[in-house]
Chain A
Amino acid sequence: MKVIVGKLVVVGHPGVGKTSTVIRYIERTFNTEVSSTIGASYFNCKMEIEDIIVKFQIWDTAGQERFKAMVPMFYRNANAALLVFDITKRESFDSIKVWVNELKKNIREKIVMFVVGNKIDLPDRQVSKDEALQYSHSIGATYYECSAKEDQGIQQIFVGLARAVSQLSGTEVGHNLKVLDASSCRALVADASDANATDVGRTENCDFILFTIISFLKQANKLTIWLRKQSF
């Protein structure tokens, strides 16, 4: 059993449906009243691909101009990026190109890039599938189309991401994914309880470590946070 922990950043023009896409996948719902993201929202998700568990920390960023300066702190150390545009809005597709340049310029490690054309349920398409496909290939990205509203193509995107990331983790160098196999998971727990044993005097510290171990054991989900604390 292998566990991969990765960071996924979602970027794109305001209103293209970034939040809707993530919520559609994670909560299986769609809300037309969703309000524009302020800053960024954080989600956790866990997927199983064959015998590999892929955990994503998802940063759904705000598209509004005034938050632009903040976005680098979310794509820093990201292992995967969803670049979302609205197929009925030409300018949202154009802004993908700006995002790609920015990511390429600022991220040194390998990163999985998916371009996503959302809102295929709407009639007046302004960006053809061919064009988007061609562009995506030219930048080494994969192209997907979806509708967060009608729940079309959403699963495929996230499953595709999990596969791509697990493939990336198989390569030797050039990525900063955390990969844990079963034995290193156990080692981590052992480490923590050692610290606990030697630190009995300092109760508060002890509490915290205990808390960490317990929540780790209860729900392996916590491990994510614990491991990634420094790298955020």
Chain B
Amino acid sequence: MSTGCDIEPGASSESVLVVSESCDNIEQMSSSLEEIKNSNSVVSSDETIENCNNIDNFEDACSNMNLNAAQDDDYMRNKEWLSKKKHIFVLSSAGKPIYSRYGNEDKLATLYGVMQALVSFVQDQNDSIQSIHAGDTLFVFLFKNHLILVAVSKSGESISQLISQLNYVFNQITSVLTLTRLNKIYEQRRNYDLRRLLSGVERLIDHLLDFSEREPAFILGGVQCLTLPLSVRDTISSAIVQACNKIKNLVFAILLANNKLITLVRMKKYCIHPVDLHLILNLVQASESLIHPVDLHLILNLVQASESLKTAESWTPLCLPRFDASGFLYGHVSYLSEDCQACLLLLTVERDVFFTLSEAKQRIVEKLRRANCLEAINQSLNTKEETCTAIGFPELRHYLYKCKYTAQFYQPSISPPYTLDLSRLLDVYKAAHQMLHCPSRPLKLIFQRTPKEAILAWDTKGFELYAVLEPLTDTTTAIGIISKLLSWIKKHEGKLFHLNAPTF
């Protein structure tokens, strides 16, 4: 089967995203932060890390307050709680509850006790527990730097898919604390109650889990770009480059809208990992009401709004665990303007350059306005992606195409019969993805027909493609459609993908 194109659609010689397959081992990364700081010989003390010593004293005073968990077994009898499809728990290796997706951890103390006992029982025999299969319920365990993460799932997802979600949860925790601090805390006090430091982070984890269950981006480990003419995307990138060129130690400038990437400009030499970008998307989405002026905008009269909304900017420490788990980047986060809902993040290693970045942001917005790019972004945001039928593929219901070189993917608009049941479509994709990537028996090509749909999944060196077709489609037709589709994507790659990888 030939694709009919020279290189994979969407591929480019350089990529803005890291595309290494090995996903989850963050300890092995070298310290990019140190490298950047040293190369510019910036002296900066990290108060954040030093400070964690003081917290312990505080902690003593509060640790005795949670003893009122008398009705431990409440949840065990609660039908609603028991019927949840997927529970996620996080505890410390000493058995202290840290997070539960549903319900209050304090009331689940017994359950955490059982989990910890199980883990340490197996550990005593110099082994480690990985999963338990009980009927339709799968228990998966992940051990990470003093933390135990557990998934209890009836969702039908595979062990590796659940492990990947647990890794995301761990990354989310690292992203707010840094790995260095997490390790330090537990080295000093094995019994530490991490919830104190994670207050407010539960919401981010909740959101991340919901997000990862409904976004194909997480299945594919890729990022979708906002559809934009190549020239517009390039103009936007160069506006950012021009406005930020002189700023030292700016590592990434990321422009996002509606969960999609508009552009990403990076410091030469550094790339961003899709996992990190997902965490950023999650952060932006979960804190939307804070910096998102859209509903305010509707209420306010324009004159009043225009002045103040523009000034709502945030300064946020953020650890990107796949970039450098040891320290924080600082992010200037703002929406472009009240008439353009794209979110701009300027990430630097310097903690005190807010105003420099704030000025840079103003310059970027002015340049984009003059070049009519804000309009172009809005226009794309207001237009749905075309459905397969609209581009001449009536037998094709939906597809995911991921270019491996760039870790970017594209999907058309959802069309019937999935409009009302998106989760079923995602389940189909998850199952196919699982078959292609099954560790014991990976496959290259699958064509499967069920009474409800036919799916063709294809894993090549350069791309992954998942196509959902009408159930009666036969193999030859399916292959014909796929090669036509690949040429279509190739033809439109300039619009669908972020091909150039601009740097400062």
**Residues of chain A whose beta carbon lies under 8 Å from any beta carbon of chain B:** 14, 19, 26-29, 31, 33-45, 64-70, 72-73, 204, 211, 215, 225, 228-229, 232
Contacts and interface: CB of A to CB of B under 8 A. Distances in A.
Contact of B199 (A33, A38, A65): A65
Interface in B261-293: 283, 286-291
Given A27-B300, A34-B290, A229 B309 contact: no
Contacts of A211: 363
B98 to A, nearest CB: 13
A16 to B, nearest CB: 14
List of 6 A-B pairs having minimum Cβ-Cβ separation, nearest first: A39-B316, A69-B51, A69-B48, A44-B311, A64-B200, A35-B290
A211 B354 CA distance: 19
Contacts of A37: 290, 314
Interface string B299-330: 11000110011011111110000000000000
A34 B292 CA distance: 10
Contacts of B197: 65-66
Contacts of A35: 203, 286-290
Contacts of A33: 289
A41 B312 contact: yes
Contacts of B288: 35
Given A27-B305, A66-B198, A40 B315 contact: yes
Given A35-B288, A38-B287, A72-B47, A29 B315 contact: no
Given A69-B51, A232-B354, A29 B299 contact: yes
Contact of B51 (A31, A43, A68, A73): A68
A39 B314 contact: yes
Contacts of B356: 229
Contact of B304 (A27, A42, A44): A27
Contacts of B200: 14, 36, 64, 66
Given A35-B287, A229-B355, A67 B312 contact: no
Given A35-B289, A36-B200, A225 B359 contact: yes
Given A35-B287, A35-B288, A225-B359, A42 B305 contact: no
B300 A28 contact: yes
B48 A27 contact: no
A194 to B, nearest CB: 21
A27 B307 CA distance: 9
Contacts of B199: 14, 64-66
Interface string B46-65: 01101100010000000000
Given A27-B305, A29-B300, A70 B48 contact: yes
Given A64-B200, A229-B356, A38 B312 contact: no
A94 B197 CA distance: 19
20 contacts: A27-B300, A27-B309, A28-B300, A31-B289, A34-B289, A35-B287, A36-B287, A41-B312, A42-B311, A42-B314, A64-B200, A66-B200, A69-B51, A73-B351, A73-B352, A215-B362, A225-B359, A228-B355, A229-B356, A232-B355
